[in-house]
Every structure is written in structure tokens, then in C-alpha cells.
Amino acid sequence: METAKCLIIGSGPAGYTAAIYASRANLAPILYEGTQPGGQLTITTEIENFPGYPDGIDGFEMMDQLRRQAKRFGTDIRQGMITSIDLSKRPFIATIDDGAAIIAADSVIIATGASARYLGLDDETRFRGRGVSACATCDGFFYRGKTVAVVGGGDTACEEATYLSNLAAKVYMIVRKDHLRASKVMQERVFGTPNIEVLFNTNTVGLFGTDGVEGAHLVRHKGTPQEEPLDIAIDGFFLAIGHKPNTEFLNGQVELDNAGYIVTRDGSQATSVDGVFAAGDVADPVYRQAITAAGMGCKAALDVEKFLLANGH
């Protein structure tokens, strides 16, 4: 069986930064990239707030640079998914792609990020790929000159709505509260864009259409005396209501909080299992930024180094 001193699972800013530090510490890390090499940032638009890029940088390009930096110091970067892992044994036993390979690892860094949330409507499944999307930068192109809706009131929703407003003729934002949660600068961009209409106090209850999405059934002021139904005609329905941490493969072996994020301890990246560390969005219900993910990746690699030394590896 193949062995590794440090196995890194995930390839966003957290995973790659952990890899840079672990490989520079001679830990010869093996990193599995998962289904979306580079993670969520590869499908975002320009990153404007990562220090060191005064003119902004394309998300895909930034992840490519981090990947190359990790490779330069010797990280063994591989394609594939860790489909299960046994954390009850030492070394830990990781199964790749349902048994295609098995690795025995002395330490593990979990940096698997988070995936887009859906509302949970049957119609979302029915129209997935036929008008329903959770990635404006991936699918926005198909809606040139059309009408779309973006659900959510956070930074992601504002970013997606602004991006889509450059392609689509009209963009609705469907916001369940009476205000946006997004940062002021993002809100100002939305309110300053004439073809974005924000529908506050509005919930989506269904989608309609024959072969693809043709419209959405909405309810305004749900659960109040002012409650009223409203249908809008749209061609595309984009979800931007946050993300769900990717922890299924852990099968409950690591402590999670109520929202499903990995709990880290004592100001470090240590999890409830000795030798297992977590970094990035999978362990961060609060900040969820590229820069904080990278910082956590660095901390996790330093924690691994200390753990391996203390345990005689």
C-alpha cells in the first residue's frame, strides 16, 4: 500500500497553500484535487480583494499559480476523489475513487471546501441544466439577451447578478428579507445597475416551463397578511444562497458543528481526531474568503509538521 506523511484532500486556496508549506517542510505531501480542481474560485469572476493583486486577478489563473507553486516545491498533485477514509486506524487509510487506489497517511489535511446550496424544490431537480444553475460565470453565456433571476442577498448573489446584467437583458434578484446581506460596495453595484430589479421579501415556491425554465412562482410577504403570489417570466434561475461544507466522505468520524462545518480546536486547525486537520471553507462558517482559506491552509501544514515531529514520524 502506498504511504504518505501528509495527505491533502482538496485543491482550493486552502489545499494548495497547505501543499506549499508542507512540501517546503519536506513532508512530500500528496494532494488529491477532487472533481473541481482549483475549487470554487475557478468559477468566480475576477478576484479583487486578495492582497497583492492591485488590478484583480482571474480566479482560474490565481488557482493555476497556486498549483504551480505547490508543484514547484514537490507536491504530488493527483486527480481523483477520496471517496472514504478510515480515521480509526493509524496510519489513516484513504480510499480513492471507490477503490482505484488506497493510501496510508500519517496525517491528513481536509480542505474539501463547500458546494452550492439549492432551495430544495422538486422543480430545481427537474430543470437542472435546463435553466437552473448555481454558477453564473459557468452558464451565464447561455442567457445573452434573456431574462434571468438570481436567488439570494449575499455577496455571491450580488456578484452573480452584476455579472449576469452584462449578458442578460434583465436580471431579477429574489431576496427573502427586506434587505441585502451583501457588503455595501456590492449592494451599490446592484442598485446602480439599471437592468437589475431586486424583489425584496420574496420567496420562490416553484418553477414552470415545458422543456426548460419559462418562469418562477413567487410569494411576496410569505406568512403575513400582505402575502401575495407573483409569477415572473424568466429563462434562467440562478441559485446563490450559500454553500454546504463537503464532509460526506468523513462519515461522521470528525466533529462537525450544527451547520455541518468541521470544528477546529484551540485556535489551531486540529480537528477532533489527532493527526487530522481542516482548512478553508469546510471549517469556516464565518469568513469564507480566499485569503482566510489560504491562511488556514498554512496553519494546517504547520500543525501537521508539529504533529508528525511530536509523534516520532
Q: Which residues are catalytic?
A: 135, 138-139
- Provide the CB-side half-sphere exposure for 14 (13 A, CA): 27
Cβ of residue 148: shortest distance to ligand NDP, in angstroms?
Answer: 16
Q: Is 190 in the site for ligand NDP (CB under 6 A)?
A: no
Q: Is 242 in the site for ligand NDP (CB under 6 A)?
A: yes
Cell numbers describing residue 14: 486552502
Place of cell 462519515: 251
Question: Binding string to ligand NDP for residues 267 to 306, with x set by CB under 6 A, is what?
Answer: ---------------------x------------------
Cβ proximity to ligand NDP: between 75 and 247 the closer is: 247
Q: Which of 49, 65, 79, 251 binds ligand NDP (CB under 6 A)?
A: 49
d(CA 195, CA 147) in angstroms, rounded, equals: 10
Cβ neighbours of 160 (radius 10 Å)? 28
Q: Is 206 in the site for ligand NDP (CB under 6 A)?
A: no
Would you call the peptide bond into 91 cis, given omega within 30 degrees of 0 as the criterion?
A: yes
Q: Which of 146, 181, 221, 313 binds ligand NDP (CB under 6 A)?
A: 181
Which residues inside 80-139 make contact with ligand NDP, applying CB under 6 A?
119
Cβ of residue 32: shortest distance to ligand NDP, in angstroms?
Answer: 24
Q: Which of 27, 41, 108, 151 binds ligand NDP (CB under 6 A)?
A: 151
Q: Which of 43, 74, 101, 154 binds ligand NDP (CB under 6 A)?
A: 154
Rounded to a whole number of angstroms, the distance between the first and last alpha carbons of the chain is 18
Q: Which of 87, 241, 282, 294 binds ligand NDP (CB under 6 A)?
A: 241
- Which bin fits 80, alpha (ψ -120 to 50), beta or left (φ > 0)? left
Cβ of residue 197: shortest distance to ligand NDP, in angstroms?
Answer: 16
Helix (H) or strand (E) holding 228: strand 228-233
Q: Which chain residues interact with ligand NDP by CB under 6 A?
A: 49, 119, 151-157, 159, 176-177, 181, 241-242, 288
